[in-house]
């Protein structure tokens, strides 16, 4: 399945540093009445990530439980339900999805679908009265992102985007040290991410379903890391694309795209994503030292060095959850129980998408693009 190939790459790894906001234990101490309460999730999409990664993680959660499944494959859904103790009455397909409004066991919908389906199912879930955790990238466009935010706001439901490394210990420690000034005044950020994508029939290589190629899939993580580790929003971008259109993999989407980010303080970000080589690396340089991660945001095995080079490896304290995914799942549940905003709410996904659109425009027009505040 797709996730197996991507996991191999991520172990080398692909960046998902996302919009790390240094959560205090993900959501702080819960009120006594809510501490042991588990909110029910419906996982929408039993593909590589939904089934291969997310579904098994509920065993590690304190405030979340799997109560429903949504899949276009009824036989597969029944088997997964039997394996994970989901009652058959809580199995849905894409035609009867809206009937989840009648199921009080479902509090949250986790959307693990191709990007082209994110907006539709987020809006439908909100209208059904459910909170939403949606995978990244958030949508095909910033306009879709805005419509998702508006639908959840109108319904009074919370919307969170699946930046899992917000809850990953190595990433959290790197951001903490950067923001604490351990390497002095920040000057330069660099990040390269890629893996060799060899399946020309995968949905990620179909622009109508993915919205783009390596930038949407992996480059978004470099963008998030740059914003998060510097603590700034870029004011301009400049990008270049290199794609062999005779390669059947890249008839619709880009392969390699490099982009520079200009930040208000003078920090320069240099990022690259690709579908034709394996690479994962983050480097943040200050006037007193550097922070380096390689692999940076793998499913496991991330490594961190702080200082003048790779002489001092840092082993971070445990994260807010038993795993980064459990921390993510529980965080939204805790936010609902405490009526707090998620640390990676829909607005974070919207900010990313606006910058990604500017990166594509820069590559297309071959010029620097100033970003609106």
* Mean pLDDT, residues 300-321 taken together: 93
Q: Are 243 and 256 in contact (CB under 8 A)?
A: yes
Q: Across all residues in the chain, what is the average pLDDT?
A: 91
Tokens, residue 183: 């390497």
List the catalytic residue out of 41, 121, 163, 221: 221
> Look-up: residue for tokens 């707090």?
340
Cα angle, residue 16 at apex, residues 284 and 186 outer, rounded to 5°: 15
Identify the pLDDT of residue 24: 40
Of 124, 102, 103, the closest CA to residue 113 belongs to 124
Q: Are 140 and 209 in contact (CB under 8 A)?
A: no
- Least confident among 6-10, 145-149, 254-258, 287-291: 6-10
List the catalytic residue out of 65, 92, 110, 136: 136
Cα angle, residue 236 at apex, residues 372 and 139 outer, rounded to 5°: 65
Model confidence over 108-166: pLDDT tens digits? 999 999 999 999 999 999 999 999 999 999 999 999 999 999 999 999 999 999 999 88
Percentage of residues of the chain with pLDDT beyond 70 = 90
Does pLDDT of 5 surpass 80? no
Identify the pLDDT of residue 31: 58
Does pLDDT of 35 surpass 70? no
Identify the pLDDT of residue 8: 32
Does pLDDT of 57 surpass 70? yes
Does pLDDT of 32 surpass 60? no
Which domains are assigned to the chain? 21-165+323-344 (3.40.50.720), 168-316+352-370 (3.30.360.10)
Identify the pLDDT of residue 186: 97
Outline where DSSP puts E strands in the chain.
39-44, 64-70, 91-92, 108-111, 131-134, 159-161, 186-194, 236-242, 256-262, 268-274, 279-286, 289-293, 304-307, 313-314, 369-370
Identify the pLDDT of residue 265: 97
The verdict on whether 221 is a catalytic residue reads yes
Identify the pLDDT of residue 30: 59
């Amino acid at each position: 399945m797709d996730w197996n190939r991507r996991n191999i790459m991520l172990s080398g790894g692909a960046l998902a540093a996302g919009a790390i906001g240094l959560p205090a234990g993900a959501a702080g101490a819960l009120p006594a009445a809510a501490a042991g309460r588990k909110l029910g999730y419906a996982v929408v999409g039993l593909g590589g990530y939904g089934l291969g990664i997310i579904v098994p993680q509920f065993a590690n959660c304190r405030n979340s439980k799997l109560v429903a499944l949504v899949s276009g494959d009824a036989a597969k859904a029944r088997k997964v339900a039997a394996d994970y103790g989901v009652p058959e009455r809580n199995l849905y397909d894409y035609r009867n999805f809206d009937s989840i409004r009648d199921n009080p066991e479902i509090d949250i919908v986790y959307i693990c679908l191709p990007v082209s389906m994110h907006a539709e199912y987020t809006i439908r879930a909100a209208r059904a009265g459910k909170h939403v955790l949606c995978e990244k990238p958030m949508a095909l466009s910033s306009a879709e992102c805005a419509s998702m935010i508006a639908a959840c706001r109108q319904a009074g439901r919370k919307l969170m985007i699946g930046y899992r490394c917000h809850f990953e210990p190595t990433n959290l420690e790197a951001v903490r040290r950067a923001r604490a000034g351990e390497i002095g005044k920040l000057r330069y950020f660099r990040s390269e991410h890629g893996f060799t994508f060899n399946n020309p029939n995968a949905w990620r290589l179909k622009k109508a379903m993915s919205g783009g190629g390596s930038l949407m899939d992996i480059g978004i993580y470099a963008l998030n890391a740059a914003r998060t580790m510097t603590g700034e929003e870029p004011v301009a971008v400049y990008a270049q694309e290199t794609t062999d259109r005779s390669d059947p993999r890249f008839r619709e989407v880009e392969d390699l795209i490099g982009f520079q980010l200009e930040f208000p303080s003078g920090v320069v970000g240099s990022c690259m994503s690709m579908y034709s080589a394996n690479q994962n690396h983050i480097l943040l340089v200050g006037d007193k030292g550097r922070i380096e991660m390689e692999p940076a945001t793998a499913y496991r095995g991330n490594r961190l060095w702080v200082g003048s080079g790779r002489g001092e490896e840092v082993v971070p304290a445990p994260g807010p959850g038993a795993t980064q995914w459990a921390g993510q799942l529980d965080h939204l549940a805790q936010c609902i129980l405490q009526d707090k905003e998620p640390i990676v709410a829909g607005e974070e996904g919207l900010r990313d998408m606006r910058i990604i659109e500017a990166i594509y425009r820069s590559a297309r027009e071959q010029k620097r693009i100033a970003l609106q505040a």
